[in-house]
Amino acid sequence: MSAQPESYVTPDGRTIGGVMMEMKNITLRFGGVVAIKDISFDIREGEIRAIIGPNGAGKSSMLNIISGFYVPQEGEVWFNGARRAPLRPYEVAGQGIARTFQNIALFEGMSVLDNIMTGRLTHMKSGLFSQALWYGKAAREEHENREVVEKIIDFLEIQNIRKTPVGRLPYGLKKRVELGRALAAEPKLLLLDEPMAGMNVEEKEDMSRFILDVNDEYGTTIALIEHDMGVVMDLSDRVVVMDYGKKIGDGPPEEVRTSQAVIDAYLGVSHD
Amino acid sequence: MFYREAGEFRTSYAEDSQTFPIRFDRWRYYAVLLVAFAVIPFIINDYWVNAVFLPFLIYAIAAIGLNILTGYCGQVSLGTGGFMAVGAYACYKLMTAFPDVNIFFHVLGGGIVTAAVGVLFGLPSLRIKGFYLAVATLAAQFFLVWLFNRVPWFYNNSASGQISAPERTLAGVPITGPNTEAWATYLFCLVFVTLTAVLARNLTRGSVGRKWMAIRDMDIAAEIIGVNPLRAKLSAFAVSSFFIGISGALFFAVYLGAVEVGEAFGINKSFLVLFMVIIGGLGSIFGSFAGAAFLVLLPVLLKNILVGQLGWATDLAAHLEFVIVGLMILIFLIAEPHGLAQLWRLTKEKLRLWPFPH
């Protein structure tokens, strides 16, 4: 594979660094069903990497492997230059990988502010006792992290719903809050599972802008799954195309778009 | 009119995250504390302390404890009675083993022992959820009561199988035993209630509380943001059992004085505290107080009205009392499933705009 860790500069002036995460020959089976078959690809530092493919191609499973929900039967996951042992999802979070879900997974009983504050949990270290007494460290830590969260609230333009319980919000805003919660962790790698599913054009434009800004301002590496081809082609630096658990394309958007295998997968030719 | 946010500007996160951000609320809270600490002790008598105040205060502690586990962390427990028994027996063993130590520390010790036992019985929560967990905690309830009945060491081999609290004093004033005074036992419990409420509030507004609520609302998402489910659930069990243990110790040592475990800490107790939490409001400290007040005061009130005012026969009134309380719980839960705390929140939202809601 082409895993040379040299950096380059994109046409719009962002610097793409070396390989941050590399999936090597991943195979994932559920009983007799092969969800992912021998797939390898890498994610480079600072890039926006899209994973596309028809329904059931194994895209979400791939994201679940990265975030620790599934352990592949074969293959290796490399992160920051070291092979990663099978981890629990909360340990993956501790390494600086955050994600959003296809079906929003927010904490409905909590306010927007509290939801985004939960994203800071990996940064909050004060123990049970100091929090129970709410002296010195616990209160100070709370307010420091609140400051970070308020910046994210500003960035996502949701100041007015700060104290609203998430359960009361409309769908588009929930998606935004979920992005905020992932951002609050200040992740090195941000995984977005269909961030624009079910949105109208205007909401999609907003979300695209946020994704580009996150990548640009915070330098966050982003891997996203998306079905809207226009969005994928516009946003991403490189695209992996999956179909029936196999990789059928990998490269810059314009290259992938003209690939015959990809066109076949989307337009549908008979599978042998 | 006076319950207003208008004109109050908060300029720091500390001010914004305080428990009572609205000034009127804050003063009301101080006023309640003042009355509770400085007025009631002077006018209280034996009837009021035994019929109303002690049960209310002690059940409030238990309800806060269970609310942390069930309301905040989403783990349903039917083992409250058993955990209260652990607190009571641990307190009893400590009282008799270290007679010179302050009673305050005996009660605290009861809480700490219960926290350890709670963690042990919380272990199944990592594998089972919801109704199934409730049934698993039922095992704790029955096992613990059985244990305290069968092993003579726990009741110091007393012939009756009961435990009874010896006299212990605090600064020369008897707190337990036959010669207590109303104001002393009341104040002793009140101190514990205040501490419990403040600690619980601090825990639930910080990152520990957010971990619990994250587990409650969606455990998969909680894990993905870095919450270790094992530690979050067990810490909820520990804190919850600590408070429940304290309430059990107070229930035995200060309120009843002598206890037969099956009667005082049976399954009924577990349900009673669970109902308090549900009626008061899951996930609310205020709700724990409201629920405890509702279920303690309502029977007393009914009894006073039926027997005292209307002159009915005591046994008839006692039976009717069950019917009426049950009926009121039903009506209440249909009208406001989120409990008294939600009712209170709605009232406050209305008050904010009153008398000009437009």
Concatenating the DSSP letter of every residue in chain A gives -------EE-TTSPEE-SEEEEEEEEEEEETTEEEEEEEEEEEETT-EEEEE-STTSSHHHHHHHHTTS---SEEEEEETTEEPPP--HHHHHHTTEEEE-SS----TTSBHHHHHHHTTGGG----HHHHHHT-HHHHHHHHHHHHHHHHHHHHTT-GGGTTSBGGGS-HHHHHHHHHHHHHHT--SEEEEESTTTT--HHHHHHHHHHHHHIIIII--EEEEE-S-HHHHHHH-SEEEEEETTEEEEEE-HHHHHH-HHHHHHHH-----
Residue B228 structural domain: 36-283
Any domain includes B312: no
Residue from the list B208, B224, B235 with its beta carbon closest to the beta carbon of A99: B224
| pLDDT at residue A13 greater than cutoff 80 | no
**Contact A91/A68 with Cβ under 8 angstroms?**
yes
| pLDDT at residue B2 greater than cutoff 70 | no
Edge-to-edge strands, sheet with A33-44: A33-44, A19-30, A74-79, A82-83
Calpha distance B69→A49 (Å, rounded)? 42
Alpha-carbon distance values, B44 to A272, B30, B295, B299 (Å): 87, 20, 21, 20
Any domain includes B354: no
Per-residue pLDDT tens over the stretch B90-144: 999 999 999 888 999 999 999 999 999 999 999 988 888 888 999 999 999 999 9
What is the value of pTM for the model shown?
0.90
Rounded mean pLDDT, B195-224: 92
Query: What pLDDT score does A191 carry?
Result: 95
Any domain includes B147: yes
pLDDT over 90 for what percent of chain A?
58
Provide, as residue numbers in chain A, all residues whose Cβ is less than 8 Å from the Cβ of B203: 128, 131-132
| Domains, chain A, with CATH or none | 1-96+188-272 (3.40.50.300), 106-186 (no CATH)
Query: What pLDDT score does A2 carry?
Result: 46
Any domain includes B167: yes
Average pLDDT, chain A: 89
Tokens representing B243 are 């408070």
CATH of the domain at B279: 1.10.3470
Q: Which of A170, A203, A106, A256 is nearest to B222 (CA)?
A: A106
Element (H, E) at B118: helix B103-122
Q: Quick one: how many helices (H) and strands (E) in chain B?
A: 17, 4
> Which chain B residue shows the shortest CA-CA distance from A135?
B202
| pLDDT at residue A3 greater than cutoff 50 | no
**Contact B82/B265 with Cβ under 8 angstroms?**
yes
> Which chain A residue shows the shortest CA-CA distance from B15?
A143
Q: Give the amino acid at A45.
A: E
| pLDDT at residue A4 greater than cutoff 70 | no
Place of tokens 């293959």: A75
* Count of CB atoms situated within 10 Å of the CB of A216: 14
3-class secondary-structure state, position B311? coil
Calpha distance A199→B173 (Å, rounded)? 69
CB spacing of B206 vs A131 below 8 angstroms = yes
pLDDT over 90 for what percent of chain B?
50
pLDDT over 70 for what percent of chain B?
97
Query: What pLDDT score does B6 carry?
Result: 67
Any domain includes B98: yes
| pLDDT at residue B357 greater than cutoff 90 | no
**Contact A24/A40 with Cβ under 8 angstroms?**
yes
Any domain includes B44: yes
Per-residue pLDDT tens over the stretch B149-192: 999 899 988 888 889 888 888 888 888 888 888 899 999 999 99
Provide, as residue numbers in chain A, all residues whose Cβ is less than 8 Å from the Cβ of B208: 128, 131
Provide, as residue numbers in chain A, all residues whose Cβ is less than 8 Å from the Cβ of B213: 107, 109-110, 114
Calpha distance A52→A124 (Å, rounded)? 35
3-state secondary structure A6-27: CCEECCCCCEECCEEEEEEEEE
Calpha distance B168→B250 (Å, rounded)? 13
CB spacing of B225 vs A143 below 8 angstroms = no
Q: Is B283 left (phi over 0), alpha (psi -120 to 50) or beta?
A: left
Which of A128, A151, A183 best probes binding to B when mutated, by most B CB atoms within 10 angstroms?
A: A128
Any domain includes B205: yes
Any domain includes B73: yes
Calpha distance A36→A39 (Å, rounded)? 7
Edge-to-edge strands, sheet with A97-100: A97-100, A189-193, A221-225, A48-52, A238-243, A246-251
Rounded mean pLDDT, B303-308: 84
Per-residue pLDDT tens over the stretch A29-58: 998 899 999 999 999 999 999 999 888 889
Give the pLDDT band of residue B146 (cuts 50, 70, 90).
Answer: very high
Calpha distance A147→A164 (Å, rounded)? 18
Give the pLDDT band of residue A1 (cuts 50, 70, 90).
Answer: very low
CB spacing of B224 vs A90 below 8 angstroms = yes
Judged by CB atoms within 8 Å, which residues 183-212 of B form the interface with A? 199, 202-203, 206-208, 210-211
Which of A99, A121, A153, A162 best probes binding to B when mutated, by most B CB atoms within 10 angstroms?
A: A121
Q: Is the complex ipTM higher than 0.90?
A: no
CB spacing of B208 vs A117 below 8 angstroms = no
- Residue-by-residue DSSP string for B151-196: -GGGGTT-TTS-EEPPP-EETTEE-SSTT--HHHHHHHHHHHHHHH
Query: What pLDDT score does B304 carry?
Result: 86
Provide the domain count of chain B.
Answer: 1
- As a whole number of Å, the end-to-end CA separation of chain B is 14
B112 touches chain A (CB under 8 A): no
Per-residue pLDDT tens over the stretch B43-86: 888 888 888 999 999 999 999 999 999 999 999 999 999 999 99
Q: Which of B53, B36, B68 is nearest to B244 (CA)?
A: B68
Rounded mean pLDDT, A177-204: 92
Q: Which of B182, B167, B163 is nearest to B54 (CA)?
A: B182
Calpha distance B242→B234 (Å, rounded)? 12
Calpha distance B248→B255 (Å, rounded)? 10
> Rounded to 5 degrees, what are φ and ψ at A112?
-55, -45
Query: What pLDDT score does B358 carry?
Result: 67
A110 touches chain B (CB under 8 A): yes
